[in-house]
Amino acid sequence: MKLPPLSYQSPHNLSDAVALLAQHEGAARVIAGGQSLMPLMSLRLAQPSLLVDLAKIADLKTISTDPLEIGAMVTWSEIERHKGLKERIPLLAEVVRHVAHYQIRNRGTLGGSLAHADPAAEFPAVAITLDAVLSVIGPQGVRKIAANDFFVNALETSLHDDEIIMSVHFPAWPAKRRWAFQEFARRHGDFAIAGIILFYDCDAQGRVMNAHVGLFGPIARAQRLSAVEQALNGQKLSAALIEAVTQNATAGLDIHVDAQGSEAYKRSLAGTLLKRGLLSTL
Amino acid sequence: MKHKSVSINGKTTQLDAEARDNLVDFIRAKGFTGTHVGCEHGVCGACTVIVDGQAVRSCLMLAVQAEGKEITTVEGLSPDVGLSELQQAFKKHHALQCGFCTPGMITTLHALLSHEPDADEARIREVISGNICRCTGYIPIVDAALEARQFYK
Amino acid sequence: MHASHHKTQANTYIGSPIERIEDYRFLRGEGQYVADLSFDGQVHAVIVRSPIAHGIITKIDTHQALAMPGVIAVLTADDIGADIPTIPFRRPNPTIGPYAQPIIARHKVRYFGEPVAIIIAQSAALAEDALAGVDVSYEALPPILDRHSSMADHTILFEVTKTNIATVFNADKGDVYAAFKRADVIVRDQLSTQRQTALPMETRGLVAQWDSATQHLKMYGAAKLPFFNRTTMAAMMKLPPENVDYIEVDVGGGFGARGEFYPEDYLVAFAARALNRPVKWIEDRREHFTAIGHSRESSCDVEMALSKDGTILGMRGDLFVNIGAYVRPNGLTPVRNAAQFMSGPYRIPNIGLKAYAFMSNKTPAGTYRGPGRYEGSYFIERLLDQAAAATGINRLALRRKNLVTSPEMPYPLAPVLPSDGRAETNCDSGDNTVTFDRCVQEFNWDQKARLDGTCVDGLYHGLGIACFIEGGASGPSETARMECEADGSVSVYVGSSAIGQGLETIMSQIAADALELKMDRIKLYHGSTNLLKEGWGSYGSRGTVMGGSAVQLAAQDFIKRFRELAAEVLNVPSDNLSYSSGRMNAPDGRFITLEEVARKGISGYGKFNNATPTYTYGTAAVHVSVDIGTGAVNVLDYTVVDDVGKVINPLTLHGQVMGAAVQGFGSVFSEDLAYDDNGTPLVGTLADYLLPLATDYPHIHCVTMEDYPSPTNPMGAKGAGEGGIIPVGGATANAIASALRSFNVQPRDLPITPSKLWSLIHEKA
């Protein structure tokens, strides 16, 4: 499983990186942490002629908490260790703990994960559910893409061959926000068979508002469960309400069947995780 | 022309790798065969080395990406003669059988305990869940790591 | 000297928890595994493998590959010659001849991954690049993948035969027809275990070094049975056996799969001779999944007859084992074992089992730890829990009353025919009720039983138990020799192979005790064929008993030679000399040391012969909790008690039992070599072959007893490398069924995955 022949460049700034991608017209690929791309190349499922390494581009490594913006080349362990992020948006730190394994988290990056768009990965779902906005740079300049528009399908995004994710912006996260993260995988660190990311705020009467409920895993890309959100908004959360909204939570979604489970199992699992997530916020 | 270099176990080494050479093959070609290749797709952890203080899967890095970095392998964690305290704890607890995953366990645990000398059993298990062992069933590895913590404080 | 070598038990090394001497180099990263070896002028091999399960090769065009950078040669069946060697069987059988494995495919491919050509290039990367330049055309044939399509014999896989059933073993004892006629209760079930792979952390590898001047071949990367493989290779290469060496270096685990003779052994050697260069082949992990022997794909339809007081009267039925595309050297071992060992430690006077070995278009299967025994134990233990329910007798009481006890030893297991040389066997010694009672006590069954079948905090709790026997010390022989070095230290050479089990330490302990020397005066060499004129190796849990006993015999011979020399030097009749700790002592107080006479040459040789297997035995109990929402099972406690006769090193023995137990859980819950309908494997990386991780099974307890030594060898030891895995399937499946009794869940088909369990709970057929 040796890598196929390739050449390598490590530019020091974004415009050089973009120029290299543009020159190679789709035959060049960005390498970020390499934790997804290297195995693909070892299996010769990807054979780019040129790898453009973003490691030396300092602009991609910044973290700010106000506004909440994380550079594309920030690694999972940098997110884990960042006190400000953990205080500002505790859900991120919790989800990062579930990403792969210790060694992978020292190299894997936020931008790399989003660009790879694995349906069972946590952070594309985080981005979608939290209404993140990606800043992307290409030969035509910078554009902003809402996460929901960025992810098209399994392993497919709206990123062009000559574009690079620069950073991810998250809306401000109120301190009193209720949230939950539930994931079920075969073993610790494995990709999720199903996962739920949810949050909501409470109005003055303690009723749910602004509910965001995202499902990932058994579907081509993470989706907001809008019917569930609508059923929750304006209501006081209770065990009975939770029971009611988790019925048919995955209705209308195309469930991918594989060795990890049948359609019935995955729908049921999603519902179980949703229920447990909501209950945990009570 | 400036030659690229990397530091392996404290010694500067010329980075005379091809672009497609991964870091584990490069390290092994330099004579540090203690780091093992178990899968070449980033799952088994046998290839774990320490890069700038962090445990990393060396099969998932290109050699050229290691330019200017400090790499520590299991050989670099061994005293000139004898065993380090972590290694002795492994021996005492029979934390290895065939020895193939062992260097990856040593580097991973050394990195962990260097940063977190108070890591508890759950944290240790969580961290070495990225290192597959087929022989021991992990229990003695965890016991060895728990005992070795005192030497990292 | 390390303090860790101190003797603790009755001033002997045997029985003491000696820290391992091999650890020193493994921990420092100074182990020498075959991939670590480098030879001047070496070139690298990559195997071209079939991408389909079944088909005819219509064309192989290598010219493009030959033109690629660094490529030296591409060899196919045509280059090997008119006669393609086939791999011999290790044990005889009257019907398997036609199903032998060729070392390369010539006309037909019979499994995804079968070798079709070998590329030799300057580097492994360049050889792998050249795969794209080897153009092979196939005419695909419909694959035969499962028991029903194979055994129907509509498509005969081997034209010279009339059936896809390579052989049928019969395990018969007493009168099973009469037993079932008079039974009060009969329970019957159809169960299955899935295809698995042993998955050592080191993939396979070989370096073949050919010396044309001396016509000598050295094969590095040997394991398990170097001597048999040397003999096999010599015959294939048409060389005298002494012109071939199989050299064992450090080995990263075997578990029964590594070390048998594979096609790559011959292909790499052939290339080395043809090119007159050292050829190095290191298997990659993706290749490993289809190229190393698989195991465990078995199913059964079996029934048990009991009287209403719970006495087992008989057991009968059919076992079916999918042995893949060819019969491997040890391909039938799991099949005959399943038939013979399904009765386990239970007293079953009437048995009629048929075990079918059928062919398919999957990777050829061989042995994996506890071969056939793990499967058989799962089958019988599921029947026993159902028998308990049917008779109304408590699951513990039902088992205990049927366990073979010491007065019944030696206890005959059902003979298996056709014989492969080991038709009859008896359990050698022991009392299964002792380990049973100890396990129940250690596990705290009575207290935990209150939780059995109940729901606590949303989780369903269950207990399960299983009893097992493990066959070890497989014969016929093993050898050892000793040589005194100039400084009075002793080099010990043993035919046994090291696969990670601590062989160097254990043999050193035995040698040190036999010679009454400190362990650091012993240097241990193992496995390679250039160390001894004959030998066998490590398989079937035989290393300690066979190798250790050979070491003891060699020590006796060594001391005898020393005595003769000392008698000459001291001018004292040899009978008047007494040996102690490296000295021959004369009655008048004079003595002579080994070092003083070393230059005269002191050596010893031992060959231990044994036709009687040993039987370690025990009981395992498990406590699980089931999350019926996700189908996930948590193993809260697993306790196994075994009696191994005599413990040589409690540290390493404990390690074997624990490691085997965790492998067992992988078998029960997650490891599965699934194929699609085309015969293409669905599992090809460690991301989809789910091995146990450190976070999965932390609660394992082992207790080892030594109440009943084996009468087959002077140490009283029994082989104990595999017992730990055998009872895991039955005990765990029983615990899950017990936990989910209110849902009437009866697990039948392993592995018990979350989705499968969820379906058993929530979706009624």
If phi > 0 it is left, if psi is from -120 to 50 it is alpha, else beta; for residue C716 that is left
pLDDT given for residue C10 in this prediction: 56
The domain boundary residue, chosen from B76, B111, B135? B76
- Residue in the structure block whose two tokens are 């176990």: B9
Residues 127-186 of A with CB under 8 A from C: 184, 186
Q: Alpha carbon of C746 to those of A57, C468, C472, C513: distances in Å?
A: 58, 21, 32, 52
Residue B144 amino acid letter: A
Whether residues B57 and B27 fall in one domain: yes
Q: Name every chain A residue with its beta carbon within 8 A of the beta carbon of C672.
A: 259
* Residue C579: both structure tokens together: 């040996």
> Do B18 and B66 reside in the same domain of the chain?
yes
Q: Name residue, tokens 């860790």.
A: C4
Calculate the CA C595 to chain-centre distance: 41
Whether C7 has a pLDDT exceeding 70, the answer reads no
Distance of CA A177 to the CA centre of its chain: 20
Among candidates B73, B126, B137 on the partner chain, residue whose Cβ is nearest the Cβ of C697 = B137
B72 lies in the same domain as B108: no
Q: Are residues B72 and B31 in the same domain?
A: yes
Domain match, B15 and B53 both: yes
With cut-offs at 50, 70 and 90, classify the pLDDT of residue C760. Answer: very high
Transcribe C502-546 into DSSP letters.
-HHHHHHHHHHHHHT--GGGEEEEES-TTSSSS---S-SS-IIII
Measured CA to CA, the distance from residue A105 to residue A93 in angstroms comes to: 12
pLDDT for residue C5: 47
Q: How many CA atoms lie less than 13 Å away from A1 in the CB half-sphere?
A: 27
Q: Compute the nearest-CA separation of C253 from chain A (Å).
A: 21
Q: Please list every residue in chain C whose beta carbon sits closer than 8 Å to the beta carbon of residue B145.
A: none
Give yes or no: residues B68 and B90 share one domain. Answer: no
Per-residue pLDDT, C646:
95
pLDDT above 90 for A172: yes
- Overall average pLDDT of the A30-40 stretch: 98
Give the count of alpha carbons within 13 A of C590, CB side only.
8
Cross-chain residue pair C125–A2, CB shorter than 8 Å: yes
CA distance C84 to C762: 54
Integer Cα distance of C561 and C627 in angstroms = 67
User: What is the three-class DSSP state of C280?
Assistant: strand
pLDDT (0 to 100) of residue C499: 87
Mean pLDDT to the nearest integer, A127-142: 98
Helix boundaries (H) for chain A: 14-23, 37-42, 76-81, 83-88, 90-96, 102-105, 110-116, 122-129, 147-150, 226-232, 239-246, 263-280
* The last residue of a domain, from among B57, B76, B95: B76
**What does the pLDDT look like over C152-184, one tens digit per residue?**
999 999 999 999 999 999 999 999 999 999 999
Q: CA-to-CA distance for A29 and C217, rounded, in angstroms?
A: 46
Q: Is B25 found in the same domain as B59?
A: yes
pLDDT at residue number A207: 97
Tell whether A2 lies on the interface with C, counting CB pairs under 8 A: yes
List chains adjacent to chain A, taking adjacency as at least 3 C-beta pairs closer than 8 Å: B, C
pLDDT digits (tens, 9 = 90+) for A183-198: 999 999 999 999 999 9
Residues B107, B56, single domain; the answer is no
Asked if A1 lies within 8 A of C284 by C-beta distance, the reply is: yes
Residues of B in contact with A107 (CB under 8 A): 56-57, 60-61
CATH number, domain with residue B93: 1.10.150.120
CA pair distance B87, B102, nearest whole angstrom: 10
Q: Are residues B92 and B147 in the same domain?
A: yes
The mean pLDDT of C11-20, rounded to a whole number, is 92
SS3 for A63? strand
Structural domain count, chain B: 2
Please measure the distance between the N-terminal and C-terminal CA atoms of chain B and give it in whole angstroms. 45
Burial pattern C568-581, b for ≥16 Cβ within 10 A else e, equals eebebeeeebeeee
In this structure, the answer to whether residues B59 and B21 fall within a common structural domain is yes
B147 three-class SS:
helix
Among A7, A55, A101, beta carbon nearest to B19: A7
Query: What is the predicted pLDDT for the residue at C634?
Result: 98
C-alpha neighbours within 13 Å on the C-beta side of residue A282:
15
Q: Which of A261-270, C259-268, C416-425 has the lowest mean pLDDT?
A: C416-425
Kindly report the average pLDDT of chain C as a whole number: 96
> What 3-state class would DSSP assign to C455?
strand
Record: contact B22-A38, CB cut-off 8 A? yes
A247/C327 Cα distance (integer angstroms): 52
pLDDT in tens, B5-50: 999 999 999 999 999 999 999 999 999 999 999 999 999 999 999 9
d(CA C226, CA C219): 10
Q: Nearest Cβ partner of C500 from B32, B74, B135?
A: B135
Residues of chain C with C-beta less than 8 angstroms from the C-beta of A184:
630, 632, 754
Tokens (6 digits) for A86: 């953990």
- Please list the residues that pair with B7 across neighbouring strands: B12, B70
From the CA of B145, how many Å to the nearest CA of chain A? 16
State the virtual CA torsion across C581, C587, C590, C596 in degrees, nearest 10. -50
H or E element at residue B110: helix B102-115
* pLDDT value of position A3: 98
The answer to whether C33 touches B34, Cβ cutoff 8 Å, is no
Question: Which tens digit of pLDDT belongs to each residue from C223-260?
Answer: 999 999 999 999 999 999 999 999 999 999 999 999 99
What percentage of residues in chain A have a pLDDT greater than 90? Answer: 99
Q: Which amino acid is at C514?
A: A
**Measured between beta carbons, which residues in chain A are less than 8 angstroms from residue C762?**
264, 268
Q: Is the pLDDT of residue C3 over 50?
A: no
Q: List, for residues C645-690, the tens digit of each pLDDT value.
A: 999 999 999 999 999 999 999 999 999 999 999 999 999 999 999 9
pLDDT tens readout for residues C73-93: 999 999 999 999 999 999 999
Binned at pLDDT 50, 70 and 90, residue C187 comes out as: very high
Residues of chain C with pLDDT > 70, as a percent, come to 98
Q: Domain boundary at B55, B76, B97, which?
A: B76
Instruction: Kindly tell me if the per-residue pLDDT of B1 is higher than 60.
Output: no
Tell me which residues of chain B, numbers 46 to 105, contact chain A at a CB-CB cutoff of 8 Å: 48, 51, 54-57, 59-62, 64-65, 67
Of chain C, the percentage scoring pLDDT greater than 90 comes to 94
Instruction: Determine the pLDDT at residue B2.
Output: 62
Owning domain of residue B139: 85-152
Asked whether A272 and A240 are in contact (CB, 8 A), the reply is no
Size of interface A-B (CB pairs under 8 A): 84
- Assess whether pLDDT exceeds 70 at residue C9: no
CA distance A191 to chain B (A): 12
Beta strands in C123-232 (DSSP E): 135-140, 165-173, 185-193, 196-197, 205-211, 216-220
Q: Kindly state whether residues B65 and B112 are assigned to the same domain.
A: no
Which domain CATH number covers B67? 3.10.20.30
Q: C-alpha B82: how far from its chain's center?
A: 18
Structure tokens at A211: 């509910």
Q: For position C594, what pLDDT does the model report?
A: 95
B124 interfacial to chain A (CB closer than 8 Å): no
Count of CB atoms situated within 10 Å of the CB of A91: 20
AA identity, residue C82: A
Give the pLDDT score at C765: 60
Task: With a cut of 70, say whether residue C8 has pLDDT above it.
Answer: no
Average pLDDT over residues C697-714: 95
Identify whether residues B112 and B57 lie together within a single domain.
no
Residues paired with C729 in a beta bridge: none
CB count within 10 Å of CB C620 equals 32
Show Cβ contacts of residue C273 under 8 Å, excluding neighbours closer than 6 positions.
Answer: C208, C210, C212, C217, C237
pLDDT of C4 above 70: no
Chain C partners within 8 Å of A246 (Cβ): none
d(CA C110, CA C114): 7
What is the pTM assigned to this prediction? Answer: 0.97
Q: CB neighbours of C363 closer than 8 A, spacing ≥ 6?
A: C111, C112, C113, C290, C291, C292, C293, C294, C324, C325, C673
Could you tell me which residues are beta bridge partners of residue A31?
A53
| Helix, strand, or coil (residue C109) | strand
